[in-house]
């Protein structure tokens, strides 16, 4: 066959994009121009910014986040709590996004969106116009859902569910805790960011206690009947930390009614009061404030989006990705957000260039450490069904086999995963 001139130009464009992905020449490919504003510099927002610039360097991209100069990843932050990593190990630099991919960076809060005028208003007072807007604000913690808990109380009873200063506070408390103390965790209800996260945290803190404070105990008060990778976690707890971790389900009184920061205690719905030396309260969550405040969320606080493009079903030209959006079975994880970001980036580039949406596919792989060196994993592969809903591909994915034979190998792969996803998102 002969390629038409038009087709040839498109192939040339695809070749240029591939070249860019390989780190070769970043020649202009599609050329529509336009301005995309991305709110949120985490796994979703940063990857969206990078891949929009990669797919079409003619598009100007501005990334806004209030913590650009002090951003830490939630993945691997549990290893900071256990003392196996330092805070600087989980810090992220946005230099490559700026210098290598030409993303404009603004360190600021976004206070509001005018979807009709297509502008965002910044806390500093500035207004920014966009052609397409990407919102990847992560989660908002619902402090008020637990009596006695608040943003201020979280300085004493940290959630450490947004990495950074909160991680450092909880690490200091665990370090200061005497041997024989109790570390009490209030686990969140579904849906929440990082489903295996609380249980990885309990595991690696147990490993820290085993090495440094072996008489200590961990209590997890959980409003859920079951949790991610439960069989694997409980198997690891029984073999590595026998008797140290007590997971309390709702039937046994795991639902928390209130917390008392002054008395360092937690009261359950069943009326029991538990005292602890360190209390980690992970409250219920909803989509980021900019999503709920802008009328982009449903009545539960999460943003419904077109499942092929991630464009909001409530506002044109606004795309919501990552923890804040509803993406069927794709979990609220860094990997999930990164995977959604690439599909949304492609959809935005196609929409600005008058092209068609691609056939999507998403992946999630979450490693969880069960000790400082050993890990387990869950994998998921997702696609659209005939009705346009995201589904997990039948008979695919799932968790590591039981028995611990892969602990060491998965511990190494977890590190490769972390370095890899950092490079793919910010590097």
Q: Which residues bind other proteins (CB under 8 A)?
A: 1, 3-4, 7, 10-11, 13-15, 17-18, 21-23, 29-30, 51, 55-56, 335, 338-339, 342-343, 346, 349-350, 353, 355-363, 365, 377, 379, 381, 383, 393, 395-398, 400, 406, 409-410, 412-413, 415-417, 419-421, 423-424, 427
Closer to other proteins by Cβ: residue 94 or 247: 94
Closer to other proteins by Cβ: residue 141 or 330: 330
Return the CA Rg of the chain: 22
Q: Residue 26 Cβ, how far from other proteins at the closest point, in Å?
A: 14
List helix spans (H) across 142-196: 165-176
Closer to other proteins by Cβ: residue 310 or 417: 417
DSSP SS3 for 353: helix
Task: Please state whether the peptide bond connecting residue 191 to the residue before it is cis, i.e. omega within 30 degrees of 0.
Answer: yes
Short-list 57, 67, 116, 74, CA closest to 294: 116
Closer to other proteins by Cβ: residue 293 or 363: 363
Q: Residue 2 Cβ, how far from other proteins at the closest point, in Å?
A: 9
Q: Residue 124 Cβ, how far from other proteins at the closest point, in Å?
A: 34
Q: Which residues of 138-167 are buried (b: 16+ CB within 10 A; e: fewer)?
A: bbbbebeebebbeeebbeebbbbbbbbebb
Closer to other proteins by Cβ: residue 6 or 226: 6
d(CA 348, CA 310): 9
d(CA 320, CA 83): 35
Closer to other proteins by Cβ: residue 13 or 138: 13
Tell me the two tokens of residue 178.
Answer: 């005497």
d(CA 158, CA 268): 18
Residue 80 C-beta-side C-alpha neighbours within 13 Å: 24
Q: What is the DSSP letter of 305?
A: B
- Phi-psi domain of 424 (left: phi exceeds 0; alpha: psi -120 through 50; beta: other): alpha
Q: Residue 225 Cβ, how far from other proteins at the closest point, in Å?
A: 25
Cβ contact 281:198 at 8 Å: no
Closer to other proteins by Cβ: residue 33 or 416: 416
Closer to other proteins by Cβ: residue 112 or 398: 398
Give CA torsion, residues 217, 221, 227, 233, to 10 deg: 0
Q: Residue 374 Cβ, how far from other proteins at the closest point, in Å?
A: 12
Give CA torsion, residues 192, 193, 197, 202, to 10 deg: -50
């Amino acid at each position: 066959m002969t390629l038409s001139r038009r087709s040839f130009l498109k192939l040339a464009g695809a070749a240029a994009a591939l070249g860019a992905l390989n780190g070769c020449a970043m020649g202009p490919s599609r050329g529509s121009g336009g301005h995309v504003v991305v709110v949120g510099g985490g796994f979703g927002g940063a990857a969206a910014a990078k891949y929009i610039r990669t797919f079409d360097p003619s598009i100007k991209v501005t990334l806004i986040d209030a913590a650009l100069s002090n951003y830490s990843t939630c993945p691997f932050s549990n290893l900071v709590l256990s003392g196996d990593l330092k805070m600087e190990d989980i810090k992220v630099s946005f230099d490559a996004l700026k210098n290598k991919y030409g993303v404009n960076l603004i360190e600021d809060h976004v206070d509001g969106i005018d979807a009709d005028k297509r502008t965002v208003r910044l806390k500093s007072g500035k207004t920014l116009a966009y052609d397409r807007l990407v919102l990847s604000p992560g989660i908002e913690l619902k402090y008020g859902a637990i009596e006695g808990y608040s943003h201020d109380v979280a300085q004493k009873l940290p959630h450490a569910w947004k990495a950074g200063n909160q991680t450092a506070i909880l690490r200091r408390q665990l370090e200061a805790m005497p041997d024989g103390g109790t570390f009490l965790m209030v686990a969140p209800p579904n849906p929440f960011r990082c489903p295996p996260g609380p249980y990885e945290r309990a595991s690696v803190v147990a490993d820290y206690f085993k090495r440094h404070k072996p008489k200590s105990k961990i209590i997890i008060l959980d409003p859920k009947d079951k949790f991610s990778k439960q069989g694997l976690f409980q198997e690891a707890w029984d073999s590595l930390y026998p008797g140290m971790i007590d997971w309390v389900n709702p039937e046994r009184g795991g639902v928390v009614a209130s917390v008392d920061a002054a008395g360092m205690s937690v009261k359950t719905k069943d009326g029991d009061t538990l005292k602890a030396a360190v209390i980690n309260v992970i409250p219920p969550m909803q989509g980021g404030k900019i999503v709920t405040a802008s009328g982009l969320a449903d009545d539960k606080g999460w943003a419904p989006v077109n499942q092929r493009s991630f464009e909001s079903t409530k506002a044109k030209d606004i795309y919501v990705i990552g923890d804040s959006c509803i993406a069927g079975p794709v979990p609220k994880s860094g990997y999930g957000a990164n995977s959604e970001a690439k599909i949304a980036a492609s959809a935005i580039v196609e929409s600005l260039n008058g092209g068609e949406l691609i056939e999507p596919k998403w992946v999630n792989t979450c490693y969880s450490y069960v000790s400082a060196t050993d890990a387990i994993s869950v994998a998921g592969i997702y696609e659209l069904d005939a009705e346009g809903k995201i589904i997990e591909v039948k008979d695919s994915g799932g968790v590591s086999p039981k028995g611990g034979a892969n602990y060491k190998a998965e511990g190494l792969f977890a590190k490769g995963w972390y370095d890899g996803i950092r490079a793919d998102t910010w590097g």
